[in-house]
Structures are given as structure tokens and as C-alpha cells.
Amino acid sequence: MAKKFETNSAARSLISSTDLNRGKNRFLYFFVLWFLIILFALVFFFPLYWMVTGALKDPAEMVRTPPTFIPESFHPETYVKAWEQLRIAKFFFNTAFYSLGGWLIQVLVAVGVAYALSKLRPIFGRFVLGAMLASLMLPAAALLIPAYLTVADVPILHLNLLDTPWALWLPGAANAFNVYVLKRFFDQIPNDILDSASIDGAGRLRILWSIIMPLSRPVLAVVSISAVIGMWKDFLWPLLVLQNPEVQTLSVALSRLSTTGRVPMDELMAGLAIASVPMIAVFLVFQRSILSGLSAGSLKG
């Protein structure tokens, strides 16, 4: 506490360290700091705490007024019950399967397109890129109905993809953000490296696999994380295309279970906690790259 605020002109902002070092301001600064820490903890962490501990209470305690802030009854088996009886396990693995498959297909498709556009530079390449980027202009909402009908009866092939993973994977692969981010990154990889590799006898595929992919790890991470999180969080589209309860995602299943009225409150709460845990864990592990990727990618997305 006694340490002085240091002056660092490169990283300085609105309020300078000399401002802060004046006696009254120092007090004000720490007052604001602690006030905000408590406020943020209450606003953003407390609901999560409430969710995780709420599921531990027995149903009678859950509906008690006033509510208890520390569970008096302790029932960790509620999580097991939700996992088994609400079949959260099934929906959880459905969602995990859709997310991983969606991630793989999105990356494969986007890398192929971006590599071709960036390094092979085919004729009409700019046109293809433009047409893909134009889809960023479409609000997802505007395509909802025609995309649903397309998935129900794919043109030419006349396949019905409803209630299959493909209904999530293939439309998800038409993601211009991925193509754009990857192409911009590939553009920065000097062609000299690729030329010398090709003189050494490396084919186009080999170059992509052994040179471009390893160099692109950071940008692949950005694309991967956004793909998995997007798949995990999506609701409206899975709600439309996965109407068979057996194949639903966790979000859709929880929404459906909550409206039947036959699900015990504590088990539903446990389901909510289970649904949030994986993404929050991913976030806490990768927070640095997620937060910096967000501010880097979002402006261009």
C-alpha cells in the first residue's frame, strides 16, 4: 500500500501517477478500487455462486423465504441425479460432439479456402472472397427461415439434414469470419519461405501442412476457440433443426425441460451449472488469448 504509483509515460492514461500520489486522491483511489472489486464480485460472480450452491440445497431449502446464502443442507448427489435422470449426460455429450465436429469442419474448410485465396491466388479469387465476406452483412436472423428450409431439403441432393449433426456443422462451416482472419494471417507469411520449400520438392499440400499450419498456431487458436464457444452457446438454430429430444443440445434440452414443469428445481439448477462449467473452464485456462483475440478479431469480424 505504501508503494508510490510509478510514472511510466508509455503506459499512462487519463489520470497520471502524480495525480494519484496526492494524499486525498490516494485514499479515493483505494476506496473506488475496493468498492468496484466488491461490486464486480457481487454482480458477476455471485450469480454463479448462487447457481452452483443452489443445486446443493434440498428442494425445501431452495424455495424457502428468505433464501439461505450458505446451503444448510448439502446434497451433491443432486448433480448426479441431474446427470442421470434428466439425462444431462446425453445432452452434454451431444453438445460436446457437435462442438468438436463443428470445430474440425470449420477449421478444415476455412484453412482450405484461405490457403487457396492467399497463396494460390486463383482467377476470380477476389470475387469468391468478396461473396463470402458479403455474408457477414447478413444478419443471422434474416436467413433463419430459408436456411431452415434448405437444411430440411438440401438443393440438388434432396437430403434432409434435420436432427442430424450436419444441420449444425455444414451451415457453421460457411463462416466468413474464419476465412477472413486466416487469409489475413496467411498473407503475412512471406512467399520466399514457400518458394524455397517448393524448390526443395515440397508439394502444395505439404507446404500447407508442414510450414503454414505450424506458423499459424496463434490464429488457429483464435478461430478454434471462437468456433467451439459459438457452437456451445448457440440456441435458436439448434432449437429449429434439432427437434427430436434425443439429439438436442444442452441449451435446447434445458429450455425444453424448464417448461415441462415436471423437473425438480434443484436438478434443473444442477443442469444449468453443468452446462456452464466447460466453457468457463476453457475461459479461465485460455483467458489471455480469448480476451486479446476478442479485441484483435472483433473489429475486423
Contacts (CB under 8 A) with other proteins, residues 187-246: 199-201, 204, 229, 232-233, 235-236, 240
| Closest by CA position to 76, among listed 273, 262, 276, 279 | 273
Q: How far is the CB of 285 from other proteins (least distance, A)?
A: 11
**DSSP per-residue string spanning 53-106:** HHTTS-HHHHT-SSPPSS-SS--THHHHHHHHHS-HHHHHHHHHHHHHHHHHHH
Q: How far is the CB of 269 from other proteins (least distance, A)?
A: 7
Contacts (CB under 8 A) with other proteins, residues 31-50: 32-33, 36-37, 40-41, 43-45, 47-48, 50
Residue 27 touching other proteins (CB under 8 A): no
Proportion of the chain in helix, strand, coil states, percent, rounded to 5: 75, 0, 25
Contacts (CB under 8 A) with other proteins, residues 147-176: 147-151, 154-155, 170-171, 173-174, 176
What gap in Å lies between CA 167 and CA 281, rounded to an integer?
27
Per-position x/- string for 250-279, each x denoting binding to other proteins as judged by CB under 8 A, each - no binding: xxx-xx--x------x--xx--x--xx--x
CA pseudo-torsion sign 211, 212, 218, 223: negative
Contacts (CB under 8 A) with other proteins, residues 79-108: 108
User: What's the DSSP call for residue 138?
Assistant: S
Residue 126 touching other proteins (CB under 8 A): no
- Which of 56, 82, 107, 179 contacts other proteins by CB under 8 A? 179
- Which of 110, 207, 223, 241 contacts other proteins by CB under 8 A? 110
Torsion of CA 258, 93, 59, 38, to 10 degrees: -90
- Residue indicated by cell numbers 438440401: 154
- Which of 89, 128, 213, 221 contacts other proteins by CB under 8 A? 128
